[in-house]
Amino acid sequence: MRVVDIIEKKRDGKKLSNEEIDFLLDGYQKGEVPDYQVSSFCMAIFFKGMEQDELVHFTRKMVESGDEIKFKNIKKYLVDKHSTGGVGDKTSISLAPIYAAFDMGTAKLSGRGLGHTGGTIDKLEAIANFKFAENVEDMEALVNNTGIGLMGAAGNIVPLDKKIYALRDVTGTVPSIELIASSVISKKLAVHADAIVLDVKVGNGAFMKTLEDARLLADRMLDIGKGFQRNIVCILTDMDQPLGKAVGNSLEVIEAIEMLRGNGPKDYTELVEVLAAEALILRGDTKNKDEAIKMVQDMVASGRPLENLRMYIKACGGDPLIVDDYKLLPTAKNIFEVKAERSGSVARIMAEDIGKAAMVLGAGRATKDDVIDHAVGLILEMKVGQVINEGDVIATVHYNSDSQLETSIKMIHESIEWSDQNIDERNVILEIKR
């Protein structure tokens, strides 16, 4: 068997056997197959794709290349919720306490943000002295005691995927639907949860810019999950405007808590309710979506999720009083009100530009070594479909340094597309695929 024959076979759109996939990937992991041949193989996949059983076996090789996390000491129904990333996406902070209130456990690896999207770790580290679980034992203890388990990405999870992604990043093959699906799902499969809830973002502020591409990605991820006999659901959600109002770490923590008080923005609240309801459906509590959402709403109204969040923050070394006193969170020194320069309907808010407007203030990272200012960010006072008058406040900027304020304000203004016609509100839930 030769690697070049495998590349040519995939180049010609033919189906590979498990043995051929093993030969190429095992050789690459051992250092026997060079980067340039695997790069060529990725390009062949980019153009010709993979059939379901090919993709399932390819993903299995990613999972088996490193450690797998199995929670042997947790008796709860474990849910791994994953978002493909967006602006203002703080759903895990609200969701995990809701899952816990239903006696489910959150079992997920969380990441830091880079560029215009934020990471859950960065947001919760706005809480003084907050420490994430550093190993499986700590995570098991947190889930058993609080129902919430979030851990920073483990070092030896799917190392083969990391190695291949580095090649894709410099060879123009990152957009391959099959390779994206395998990369995302391999990390979920390496962490053994009972249910996988995937939030696939669609739009300007997301990696998937079109609904068509998002559908393809969701279908391939479902193919892989079902190939591994996992309970999985994909929710396609709008990212053609930021989620909620808050963009920036401390500000997003506050908005997530406010949702648990029943005071969250409409789109953010709806998304959290649906993500929670889908976990209940996967567990078998009900088959009816509306009934599941009502169960979630009643649970939030009971106050139990807020109490679970207090318990989790305390268990992680933070002050649980931040749930009731936001002054204990980092607060920016200055606030500037950005006002509309014209009247009209908001036709579009470029989510990526809003994310970058917060990033330049210090809320995000341009490089992985940048230090985040947890206090800064912005609160949007507009949504698509809203009628705005000239001079109305459209955003409130929270900042510590004057140096990037004008740049941020300019980016906010440039992010808005206006219309003189009435514009419909955007739906946050686009489709649900099971």
Active-site choice (40, 183, 250, 415):
183
Active-site choice (60, 61, 187, 365):
187
Q: How many whole angstroms separate alpha carbon 249 and alpha carbon 165?
A: 28
Q: How many whole angstroms separate alpha carbon 20 and alpha carbon 164?
A: 17
Active-site choice (89, 122, 161, 223):
161
> Per the structure block, which two tokens stand in for 35?
């980067």
Is 110 marked active-site? no
Separation of first and last alpha carbons in the chain: 39
Question: CA Rg, the chain, in Å?
Answer: 22
Is 161 marked active-site? yes
- The position carrying tokens 């530009």 is 353
Is 187 marked active-site? yes
Active-site choice (10, 108, 168, 201):
168
Q: State the SS3 of the chain.
A: CCHHHHHHHHHCCCCCCHHHHHHHHHHHHHCCCCHHHHHHHHHHHHHHCCCHHHHHHHHHHHHHCCCCECCCCCCCEEEEEEECCCCCCCHHHHHHHHHHHCCEEEEEEECCCCCCCCCHHHHHCCCCCCCCECCHHHHHHHHHHHCEEEEECCCCCCHHHHHHHHHHHHHCCCCCHHHHHHHHHHHHHHECCCEEEEEEEECCCCCECCHHHHHHHHHHHHHHHHHCCCEEEEEEEECCCCCCCEECHHHHHHHHHHHHCCCCCHHHHHHHHHHHHHHHHHHCCCCCHHHHHHHHHHHHHHCHHHHHHHHHHHHCCCCHHHHCCHHHCCCCCEEEEEECCCCEEEEEECHHHHHHHHHHHHHCCCCCCCCCCCCCEEEECCCCCCEECCCCEEEEEEECCHHHHHHHHHHHHHCEEEECCCCCCCCCEEEEEC
Determine contact, residues 222/188, Cβ cutoff 8 Å.
no
Determine contact, residues 410/256, Cβ cutoff 8 Å.
no
Is 82 marked active-site? yes
Q: How many whole angstroms separate alpha carbon 359 and alpha carbon 352?
A: 10
Q: How many CA atoms lie within 13 A of 39 on its CB side?
A: 10
Active-site choice (10, 60, 82, 245):
82
Is 14 marked active-site? no
Catalytic sites, residue numbers: 82, 161, 168, 183, 187
